[in-house]
Structure 1
Amino acid sequence: MIDAVLERFAKQAPAAVMVRALLANVLSDKELDAIFRESAERQVEGPLLFSQVVGLLHLVVTKAQPSLHAAYQQRRAELGVSIAALYQKLAGIETCVTRELVCRTAARMGAVVAELVPDAPAPLPGYEVRILDGFHLAASEHRLKETRGVRGGPLPGQALVVLDPQKKLIEDVLPWEDAHDQERAVLAELVDVLRPGQVWVCDRNFATRMWLFQTELERAYFVVRQHGQLPIEGAGRLLKQGRCETGEVLQQPATLSDGHGGQMTLRRVVVRLDRSNASGDKEIAILTNLPAEVAAAAVAELYHTRWSIEAAFGEMTLALRGEIDTLAYPKAALLGFALAVVTYNTLGVVRAATAAAYGVEKAEQVSTYYLANEVATVWEGMEIAVEGAAWDRFADLPPPALAVELKRFAQNLHLRRYQKHPRAPKKPRTAPGQTHDPYTA
């Protein structure tokens, strides 16, 4: 009978069922508690388990519950701890645990995506591309005693985020508690993830000598916009190299000094834009150490894919509640953001299953917002109607078997229910004309 109820949900709300089945596999209570035990450095497990904390916070992130307190009230009896104990536990979750939560789940979901869409197009064929950007959490409500007399809310923290554009999953998040540190200072903590053959696409905030030389040292590659303070010396004239989607492409050899007598030879690719960008720039300069066989136009197009991570941030902000304004303690707020990343990745797997069932072009038209909305509205009812044991059959499925199940559920998707509705370009506003009022003339 339980299986019959599950199948009914699978036909009426397939996206919610796919997310729940996927979480049963990659984010089970057993797996969550294992992540905590293996990653925590100082915090002890205690009577309130990490899996219980994540379960409550997940309800808030997916908008199934309006606040953490509301989620706690609903599950107060089974938790057996006070609300103060919950907030104390949250405030102490170490950032190393938060990062491991994202990395480990992303790796498992990536294996499923590879089964669903094995021939996904690569941004740069023959290379493993990663896009890096920073994310600053919005100011929270005044919850810290020390900040109650301050007009502005405290900033809970920031994170460096790594996106795999081929699988369209966020595979790493480096949480950082000091929201006022420069992203460049945080960047040094990410050096250990560099791997030979990878191509790292970054904005100019990450154009530091440390990062570029370390990337070269690890036999990896970079495609990064030139920062004005970076001591680059051009060698020779800019030569035309054709066009890319946004303008004319030119190139010249260049060198970068490490400040200690060493130098790096690289290419400086300049794009003369057909239209000025939002900052008013008429051209942008991109630095790369990719080999010469990668054309300058391909480098420019690859840098343009950097906006996919901005789109991911926008979708998370719109569809999920990753910035919970009542969580002022950095560790708690960063865990909430990390759970939003994990949830965004589960929706990415749903899109991959849609591509496997209907084709990539139709999957591109599926809206993350409508997928997340179905999860939020159906989740609590589904948890009541379908017992937890019914999801256990997904827990131990290897990626190929889980991919088969997800594709089966995806065939129940009525794509028009989840279709994107992009807004038309805004019309320029004109100043209203002055009218003559005879009564005030």
Structure 2
Amino acid sequence: MARLAMQRALEPEWIDELFEQKRGLQYTRQLLFSTTVELMSVVAVGLRPSLHAAAKACKDLPVSLQALYDKINGTSPGLVRALVQGSATRLGKVLAPMLGGKAPMVPGYQLRIVDGNHLPASEKRLKPLRGFRGAALPGQSLVVYDPETDLVVDMLPCEDGHASERTMMQAIQQQAQPGQLWIADRNFSTRAIFCRWQERGSCFIVREHGRTPSPQELEPMQLRGRIDTGSVHEQAISIEDEQGKPIRLRRVELHLEHPTEDGETVIRLLTNLPAWELTARSVARVYRFRWKIESLFQRLEAVLHSEVQTLGHPRAALFAFGVAVMAYNVLAVLQSAVWVAHELREEDIELSSYCFADEIRTHYAGMVMAVIPTAWDPYDSMTADQLAEVLLQIALHANPKSLRKHTRGPKTSARKGYVSGAVARRQVATARVLKNGFIK
């Protein structure tokens, strides 16, 4: 299943054609861009620990290692974005017949969740960084996630690790369409961002920032009922667009029964959704879908090798992250296939991306050695519907219980209190502690 999904998402002919369209100053002489994507995908899935190891294991690499790294260091962010967008579109066509009977999360709307992801500090292998004592940030990305298909549908890479996410949003919003509902945190709560969504005909639910956009209140706050986390209030507000024309919005306040980790007891949301389409209580519930993108970032870090700290060049690090995102989309297709084939329900079982990736790491290399390359050729001519049917047939042989997620209970937070440095640095033998039953 993984081989067939990757074959559709990372088809070499399509990748090389896309490279010719988005290559910028790069060119193809001996090393095809599809080869670099294939090598990086091996690293992203965890079949090889590094790009160097993947290149050494490649028997027919036509260039030197230095030429390979030069190729990756020159990959433009626009090309990485086009790769993510294109692969998501190709896999989305395969998912469509699988998920055709699935009820939408918000009837009448296509959900989009957007958030930023900063890559962690890289190793200082680049010569200009060797004398720098602080952290070297290789870049960041704005990620657009579709929670209904579990696919990352867009990613805007940025080489500047200190660039403002708000300024990057303008390029993302050019893809916004009518009928879409965008969800974002308070970092994107600005007048300009709201106005651009309004101009594109898209709806939004965004947590209100303490300072922006400073809307004008049109009516007093009114109680609209309760949900499981607290009481919900609502009022009509207004902001002005760039021409000074008023835009009427709704402010929804959720008064929490229990404060958040930051001690906040009130969450304020701004939306342009009409009240007759989504009530204030429904707006508060829908905003909770935003945590799904945080869970996505955790899975990218824990399940896939998305943060290659040995790649210090910004373009190389962003290219590695983009390929990891495409690998995540492949895992999402496999999970959906198993889910649909076995007619699972959310209340019965939750599948684990880690278990899927572990299965691939364990068996993929042996399968590639055992199966001749030409055996995969007939699947290239399949339509998306035909490939979806094949994946569902193979998924029937999977054991969902071996792929389920094992969640742990909630952690209890207890303040440790102050102790002296001598006590904090003490060492104990675990065997002696277990034998005595306490620490002296």
Structure 1 and Structure 2 fold alike (TM over 0.5) = yes
The answer for the alignment partner of 1:84 in structure 2 is 66
Q: Is the 8 A contact 2:182 2:204 kept in 1?
A: yes
Map of 2:219 onto structure 1 = 236
Partner of 1:79, secondary structure, is coil
- Match in the other structure for 2:425: none
Residues 401 and 228 from structure 1, CA distance in 2 versus in 1: closer, same or farther, beyond 3 angstroms?
A: same
Q: Which residue of 1 aligns with 2:146?
A: 164
Letter in 2 for 1:350: L
| Counterpart selection for 2:166 from 184, 193, 216 | 184
Structure-2 separation of matches of 1:431 and 1:222: 42
Q: Which amino acid aligns with 2:76?
A: E
| SS of aligned partner of 1:78 | coil
Q: What is the TM-score normalised by the length of structure 1?
A: 0.91
Supply the AA of the counterpart residue of 2:109.
Answer: Y
**Alignment partner, residue 12 of structure 2:** 29
Alignment-derived partner of residue 407 in structure 2: 422
Residue 370 (1) aligns with residue 352 (2): no
- Residue 329 of structure 2: aligned partner: 345
Shift, 1:191, TM fit: 2.3
CA-CA distance at 1:290 after TM superposition:
0.5
Q: Which residue of 1 aligns with 2:267?
A: 284
Q: Distance in 1 between matches of 2:243 and 2:20?
A: 43
Conservation of the 8 A alpha-carbon contact between 2:118 and 2:161: yes
In the alignment, does 2:287 pair up with 1:303? yes
Whole-Å separation in 1 of the counterparts to 2:207 and 2:416: 38
Q: Which runs of 5+ in 1 are unaligned?
A: 1-17, 435-441
Q: Could you tell me which of 176, 184, 195 is aligned with 1:194?
A: 176
> Aligned match of 1:401 in 386, 404, 425?
386
Q: Which has the higher contact order (CA 8 A, sep 6+)?
A: 1
What SS does structure 1 have at the residue aligned with 2:196? helix
Query: When the two structures are superposed, what TM-score results if normalisation uses the length of structure 2?
Result: 0.91
* Whole-angstrom distance in 1 between the partners of 2:198 and 2:83: 29
| Distance across 1 between alignment mates of 2:417 and 2:295 | 34
Once the two structures are TM-superposed, the CA of residue 121 in structure 1 deviates from its matched residue by 2.6
Which has the higher mean CA deviation after the structures are superposed, 267-276 or 253-262? 253-262
Residue correspondence of structure 1 range 213-252 to structure 2 within 5 A: 213-230=195-212, 231-252=214-235
Aligned counterparts of 1:320 and 1:281: Cα–Cα separation in 2: 33
- Within 2, Cα distance between the matches of 1:259 and 1:217? 11
In structure 2, the residue matched to 1:98 is 80
- Conserved in 2, the CA contact under 8 Å of 1:201 and 1:306? yes
State the distance in 1 between where 2:417 and 2:135 align: 37
Deviation at 1:152, TM superposition (A): 2.9
Give the structure 1 partner of residue 298 of structure 2. 314
**Mapped contact 2:349–2:404 kept (Cα < 8 A):** no
Q: In structure 1, what is the Cα distance between the partners aligned to 2:118 and 2:183?
A: 19
1:49 aligns with 2:62: no
The aligned residue for residue 239 of structure 2 is 256
Q: Is the Cα contact below 8 Å between 2:111 and 2:146 reproduced in 1?
A: yes
In 2, Cα distance between the equivalents of 1:59 and 1:26? Answer: 14
Q: Which residue number in structure 1 is paired with residue 89 of structure 2?
A: 107
Deviation by residue 1:411-432 (Cα, 9 ceiling, x = unmatched): 1111221111101112344659
Please give the secondary structure, in 2, of the residue aligned with 1:271: strand
SS at match of 1:131: strand
What is residue 372 of structure 2 aligned with on the other side?
A: 387
Q: Secondary structure at the match of 1:306?
A: helix
Q: Secondary structure at the match of 1:279?
A: coil
- 1:120-139 equivalence runs, <5 A: 120-139=102-121
Query: What's the Cα RMSD here?
Result: 1.8
Query: Aligned pair in 2 of structure 1 residues 246, 396: CA closer, same or farther (>3 Å)?
Result: farther
CA distance in 2, matches of 1:23, 1:431: 48
The answer to whether residue 316 in structure 2 is matched with residue 332 in structure 1 is: yes
C-alpha change, 1:171 and 1:432, in structure 2 (3 Å) is closer
Structure 2 gap segments, 5+ residues each: 420-440
Distance (whole Å) between structure 1 residues aligned to residue 370 and residue 189 of structure 2: 52
Structure 2: distance between partners of 1:297 and 1:304: 11
Task: Please report how far the alpha carbon of residue 26 of structure 1 lies from its aligned counterpart in structure 2 after TM superposition.
Answer: 2.5
Distance 1:259 1:338 in 2: 35
- For residues 404 and 349 of structure 2, the distance between their equivalents in structure 1, rounded to whole angstroms, comes to 9
Q: Matched residues in 1 for 2:134 and 2:417: separation?
A: 36
Structure 1 distance, partners of 2:395, 2:135, is: 42
What secondary structure does 2:148 align onto? Answer: coil
